[in-house]
Structure 1
Amino acid sequence: MKEHQRLHITDTRPGDWKYVAEGGATMVFSYTGPPGIFNRMVLRLRKSTVPDLPQRSLDDVEELDDFIISFQERIVARVISEEHLPRLKTVLLDTNWLQSLSNLRNMDRPPARRHKDGLDLTKRKGILATDLVGNVDLAIEIKPKWAFLPCPAHLSSATITIKRTTCRFCMHNYFRSTKNVAPISAYCPLDLYSGEEDRITRAIHDLWDAWIKSDGSLNNLRIFVHGSLLKPSDVRLSVLSFYCTKDVIFQADSSRILADVLHVSESYASSSHLRDAFTSTVLRILLDSDILRVLSRLQRTLDPLDIEGLSKLWFRSKADLSLPSSVLAPALGFDTDDPSLTEWEDFIDIYTSVFKTWNHSLPNVANLKSYLMAYMLSATFKDCSIVLRPDKSGTTSASVTVIDMDPKSMIRLEKWEKLDKNITDFYTHAAEAKVCHDRFLAS
C-alpha cells in the first residue's frame, strides 16, 4: 500500500471506538464514529504485560502486522475460500492516541485482564478488519480447536493408547481444570467436526453449558448481541417499542436479551428453551457450511507426524550432523528462523501438490523444514475461531468467517512439545479416560 493510501488512526477519535473483546495477545475495538472509511471495521491492537511494557524493535513492530495481512492474502487464501476470510488492512497508530484509548476504555475490560496486561503503546501499526459482530443482532464466535486423533505411526508406547482414545482438547481441558485454571467442560471438538447432526447438537449443547457455567469466561464460545459481548450474568438497559407510543427503557437480563434475538417467546424463555433455540440456529449454519470440513482436513493433513514424530525427525537431523557427545542437540525448532513469506509460498506449493504423496510413516530428514512449517500452519488452524452471523430474514445464507489466523513462530515448538508431554503424562493418571470418536480416523 502506498504511503498516501495508508489509513491513520488519528483520523478518528479514541471515543469513536468501543471495546468489544480480547484474547491473550490482542484487544478488539469496534468503530462507532461518524460515517467514513472506518465504517463496519474493527481495530485489533496488540497487548503488553503491565506495568513493565517491553520495548520492541521499531522495525519488528513496523513489519509484524503487514506480515500478518500478507500471510492471510498469500498463504491462508490458498487453502481457505476468500468468502470465509475477513478483509484486513493496516492502520498507522499514534502513541498519544493509544494512551487516550486505553484511559477511556480500560474500565470496560474484565477486571482480571486489567491487572494482567494492557495495550502495547509502542505499536506503530494495527490491523483493521471486517466488523463481524457489529451491525447485526446476533454473532456467535466458536473456537473449535483440534479436529482429530493422531495417527499411531510416531506415537510412543507410553502415549499411543491415550492419544488414540482421548483427543488433545479433552486431555488439555482436564489438565487445566485440575490445576484450577478453567472449569471442566464436556465439549469435545471431535463431535463438532463429525458432520453428524446428533453429535454436532451435543457439541453445541456442551459449549452452551460451559458458557453458562463459566459465565462466558471460556473462549470456546462467545455470544455478541447488538455488537457487544454478552455474558450469562449480564443485566442491560434495553428498549421496548410500541406502535404510536414512546419507547420504554427497562432492565433486561441475558436470558431476555437472547430470547429477543433468537425470537423465543418471553413465556418460553427458560434456560432449556434458549439452549434449544441457540442450538437450532448454530446447527443450521454449520450443516449448511463446509468450513468445519475444511479446517478438519487442513489440521490433520498438515500434522501427519504429531509433535512426537516431528521431534524424532528433528533429532534425527541433528544426529546426522555428528555433534560431539559433549554438545547437546538444540531443542525442537530452536535454531531455525521463522519462514519468510516467500518460504511460506514455496511451502504452500509443496503442500498443494506433492506433500500428500510423501511417506509420512517414514519421513525424510531432507523434508524437515517442510514438516516444521506444516506443523506450524496446522497450529494456526487449530487455534483459529469461526464467527457465525445468522440471517434473521431467512432469505440468504448466514455468513461464516474464519478469524485469528496469525502465523505461529518456530520458537513455540519447544513449548508445545513440553506441554504435550505434560498433558499426556498427567492424563494417564486420570481415573477414567474419556473416549473421543474421530469419524475420519485412519486405521
Structure 2
Amino acid sequence: MAELVLEAKDACDWIYRGEGAANLILSFTGSFDPRFDGKVLRVQKVKKNGISCEELSSALSVHECLLWKEDCDLLSAPTREIAEHLYVQHVMRPLLGSDHVDAGVRVLVSRDFLEALGKNILSQRPSWRVNDADVNTQCDYALLISDHSVFPHALHDGELSISVEIKIPQLSQYDPLDMFSGSKERILKSIKDLFSTPQNNFRVFLNGSLVFGSLGGGKYITNVHHDKAFEDELKSVIEADDGIRTICFLELVSEAVFRSGLLNRLLEVQKLDAFDIEAAIHSYYDVVSQPCVICKKLGEDRLSGRYSSLHSLPLDGSLKIVKEYLIAATAKDLSLMISFRTREKGDPKSPYNVIFHESTGQSFDYKVSFIDLDMKPLEKMIYYYELDQKILRCYTKMMETKKPLENSAKLEEKPPYQEKSIVEDVIGA
C-alpha cells in the first residue's frame, strides 16, 4: 500500500481510539473506503523528555544488529520503526501463529497529516498522556493494522460485535497461574478477577467503542454504577435477564480462552527466558563488550565469580540468552484480543470458530488475536535488572517489618497477587 499517502486533508477522517506508551491508535470515520475497512491506524509517539526524533527513528544499534543477525530483514531496515514492524512479522508471528498476529501494512504519511492529527485528537487524549508525549511528526510511515474489535465482513445489517482486551501480566488480585492453568474453572476465576479490578488490563469494546475499562491507560475501578452501566450495554448482545448478563459474558470469554489453546503457545514463548534477569544481565554486558557492572558491584571477578560460567560462554551463547530474554519480554507484555459476534439461524457457514453458550442458547463466532508485540530495545536489559532489584529490596523490607514468629506461616502461603502489589508500588514510585 506504498502508493497510499495520507495528507493533511485526511486527518479529519481519523479519530482517537486509545494509546499505549509508544503509539496512538486511530479509527477511520470517513466515507467507506475498502482499504480502511476493519482497520485502525497506529501512529508513533515521541516523548517530551528530551529524546530526539532522530534517536527514535534511527536504525538498529551495532549490538542490536549482532543480536538479530539471523533475521536479515531487520538488519536492512533504514529506521527502527521499520525494524520493529519486521520484528513482529518475522520473529513474533511465526512463534505465536500467523492466524493470530497481524503485523500490519506500512502507509506513507505526510508531516502535515501528523501535525493536523495531533491537534485534532489533543482534547480526546488523557492529560497525563499529553504531558508525556506527542505525535511523532518526523515519521514517514504509520501502520494500518486489523481492528481486532470488529469483524471485517458483516453477516447482516445491524450486526454487533463485542470484544475484550486482556493484558496478560496483571497488577491486581488476578493470578496469572489461573489464566495459564488449562482448567476451565480457574480460567473463569481469572476472568472474574480481571473484571473486578480491570485497571488498564481488561477492556471491553462494543462495535469498536469502549464500554468498559480505561481508554488511555489510567486506573479504572469497578463500582455499582459501572457494573449497572455495563450490564445495560450487554443487552444488545447477551440474551439474558438483568443481573446475569455480565456473568454470561465472562463465561463466554473464559470459554473462548480455554478453547483457543493459545495460552499454551504463549506460555512456551514466555518460557524462552530460561535465565532470569539476574543471570541474563551478565550476558548483556558480554554482548555489548563492556566490563560487567554487576560483577563489580558484587565484588567478584568476572572470570572466577559465581557467574563466571556465563561470562565464559562464546559470543553466540551470550547473544542467544539475551535475544530469547527479550523475545520472552515481548510475550509477557502483549495483549490478547477476543472478539465475538452473534450468529442467527440461517447465517452462512462461518470461517471463524463458533461457541454455543448454553445459558443463553446463543451461538457466537469468535476470533483471538495477539496485539502490542513491540520489540524491546537491547538497552532495556538494564531497566529490567534495576526493576528486579527494586522489587527485591521492597519485598525484603516488607518481610523485615513482619514479626517472624507470628507471620512466618502466613508469608509462606501469601497469594501471588500480594507479590504483584509490590511490583505495582515499585513501578508507581
- Tell me, yes or no, whether TM beats 0.5: yes
In the alignment, the residues of structure 2 paired with residue 120 and residue 256 of structure 1 have an alpha-carbon distance, to the nearest angstrom, of 39
1:69 equivalent in alignment to 2:85? yes
Higher relative contact order (CA 8 A, sep 6+): 1
In the alignment, the residues of structure 2 paired with residue 66 and residue 199 of structure 1 have an alpha-carbon distance, to the nearest angstrom, of 40
Following superposition of structure 1 onto structure 2, how do residues 428-439 of structure 1 map, counting pairs within 5 Å? 428=396, 429=398, 433=411, 434-436=414-416
1:414 equivalent in alignment to 2:378? no
Number of corresponding residues: 333
In the alignment, the residues of structure 2 paired with residue 280 and residue 59 of structure 1 have an alpha-carbon distance, to the nearest angstrom, of 43
Following superposition of structure 1 onto structure 2, how do residues 145-294 of structure 1 map, counting pairs within 5 Å? 145=169, 173=171, 185-211=172-198, 218-231=199-212, 253-265=229-241, 268=242, 270=243, 273-294=244-265
In the alignment, the residues of structure 1 paired with residue 214 and residue 88 of structure 2 have an alpha-carbon distance, to the nearest angstrom, of 36
Following superposition of structure 1 onto structure 2, how do residues 27-426 of structure 1 map, counting pairs within 5 Å? 27-34=24-31, 35-50=33-48, 54-56=52-54, 60=58, 63-134=79-150, 137-145=161-169, 173=171, 185-211=172-198, 218-231=199-212, 253-265=229-241, 268=242, 270=243, 273-300=244-271, 302-313=272-283, 329-330=292-293, 365-366=313-314, 367-393=317-343, 396-397=352-353, 398-426=366-394
Shift of 1:40: 1.7
User: Is the alpha carbon distance of 1:100 and 1:312 closer, same or farther for their aligned partners in structure 2, counting shifts above 3 Å?
Assistant: closer
Q: TM-score, normalised by structure 2?
A: 0.70
In the alignment, the residues of structure 1 paired with residue 204 and residue 94 of structure 2 have an alpha-carbon distance, to the nearest angstrom, of 29
User: Is the alpha carbon distance of 1:83 and 1:233 closer, same or farther for their aligned partners in structure 2, counting shifts above 3 Å?
Assistant: closer
In the alignment, the residues of structure 1 paired with residue 205 and residue 321 of structure 2 have an alpha-carbon distance, to the nearest angstrom, of 38
8 A Cα contact 1:91 1:128, kept in partner: yes
In the alignment, the residues of structure 1 paired with residue 336 and residue 9 of structure 2 have an alpha-carbon distance, to the nearest angstrom, of 28
Shift of 1:188: 1.3
User: Is the alpha carbon distance of 1:8 and 1:53 closer, same or farther for their aligned partners in structure 2, counting shifts above 3 Å?
Assistant: farther
AA matched with 2:265: V
**Structure 2 residues without counterparts, runs of 5 or longer:** 60-77, 152-159, 216-227, 296-308, 345-349, 354-365, 403-409, 418-429
AA matched with 1:228: S
In the alignment, the residues of structure 2 paired with residue 26 and residue 59 of structure 1 have an alpha-carbon distance, to the nearest angstrom, of 13
**Which whole-Å deviations, capped at 9, do the CAs of 1:8-61 have from their partners, x for residues lacking one?**
122971121121111111110012222232222111111123496733259628
User: Is the alpha carbon distance of 1:53 and 1:378 closer, same or farther for their aligned partners in structure 2, counting shifts above 3 Å?
Assistant: closer
8 A Cα contact 2:150 2:207, kept in partner: yes
User: Is the alpha carbon distance of 1:7 and 1:233 closer, same or farther for their aligned partners in structure 2, counting shifts above 3 Å?
Assistant: closer
AA matched with 2:203: R
8 A Cα contact 1:89 1:129, kept in partner: yes
User: Is the alpha carbon distance of 1:219 and 1:233 closer, same or farther for their aligned partners in structure 2, counting shifts above 3 Å?
Assistant: closer
In the alignment, the residues of structure 1 paired with residue 137 and residue 104 of structure 2 have an alpha-carbon distance, to the nearest angstrom, of 21
User: Is the alpha carbon distance of 1:28 and 1:331 closer, same or farther for their aligned partners in structure 2, counting shifts above 3 Å?
Assistant: farther
User: Is the alpha carbon distance of 1:53 and 1:375 closer, same or farther for their aligned partners in structure 2, counting shifts above 3 Å?
Assistant: closer
8 A Cα contact 1:384 1:404, kept in partner: yes
Once the two structures are overlaid, the 10-residue window that deviates more, 255-264 or 196-205, is 255-264
Secondary structure of the structure 2 residue equivalent to 1:262: coil
**RMSD of the TM alignment (CA)?**
3.1
In the alignment, the residues of structure 2 paired with residue 87 and residue 307 of structure 1 have an alpha-carbon distance, to the nearest angstrom, of 28
8 A Cα contact 2:43 2:135, kept in partner: yes
Secondary structure of the structure 2 residue equivalent to 1:45: strand
Shift of 1:282: 0.6
8 A Cα contact 1:232 1:254, kept in partner: no
Secondary structure of the structure 2 residue equivalent to 1:115: helix
8 A Cα contact 1:281 1:390, kept in partner: no
In the alignment, the residues of structure 1 paired with residue 214 and residue 43 of structure 2 have an alpha-carbon distance, to the nearest angstrom, of 27
Aligned twin of 2:68: none
Q: TM-score, normalised by structure 1?
A: 0.68
In the alignment, the residues of structure 2 paired with residue 93 and residue 369 of structure 1 have an alpha-carbon distance, to the nearest angstrom, of 36
Shift of 1:134: 3.8
8 A Cα contact 1:390 1:399, kept in partner: yes
Aligned twin of 2:155: none
**Which whole-Å deviations, capped at 9, do the CAs of 1:109-144 have from their partners, x for residues lacking one?**
223323332212222211110111245521111111
User: Is the alpha carbon distance of 1:415 and 1:12 closer, same or farther for their aligned partners in structure 2, counting shifts above 3 Å?
Assistant: same
Shift of 1:312: 4.5
In the alignment, the residues of structure 2 paired with residue 233 and residue 48 of structure 1 have an alpha-carbon distance, to the nearest angstrom, of 22
User: Is the alpha carbon distance of 1:21 and 1:143 closer, same or farther for their aligned partners in structure 2, counting shifts above 3 Å?
Assistant: same
Shift of 1:222: 1.4
In the alignment, the residues of structure 2 paired with residue 287 and residue 274 of structure 1 have an alpha-carbon distance, to the nearest angstrom, of 20
**Which whole-Å deviations, capped at 9, do the CAs of 1:304-355 have from their partners, x for residues lacking one?**
111112134556x59xx9x9xxxx53569xxxxxxxxxxxxxxxxxxxxxxx
Work out which of the residue numbers 1, 5, 10 in structure 1 matches 2:7. Answer: 10
8 A Cα contact 1:7 1:90, kept in partner: no
Work out the percentage of aligned pairs sharing the same amino acid.
24
In the alignment, the residues of structure 2 paired with residue 372 and residue 219 of structure 1 have an alpha-carbon distance, to the nearest angstrom, of 29
Secondary structure of the structure 2 residue equivalent to 1:365: coil
User: Is the alpha carbon distance of 1:258 and 1:12 closer, same or farther for their aligned partners in structure 2, counting shifts above 3 Å?
Assistant: farther
In the alignment, the residues of structure 1 paired with residue 105 and residue 5 of structure 2 have an alpha-carbon distance, to the nearest angstrom, of 11
AA matched with 2:168: P
AA matched with 1:199: R
Aligned twin of 2:219: none
Secondary structure of the structure 1 residue equivalent to 2:385: helix
User: Is the alpha carbon distance of 1:407 and 1:58 closer, same or farther for their aligned partners in structure 2, counting shifts above 3 Å?
Assistant: closer
8 A Cα contact 1:233 1:254, kept in partner: no
8 A Cα contact 1:140 1:387, kept in partner: yes
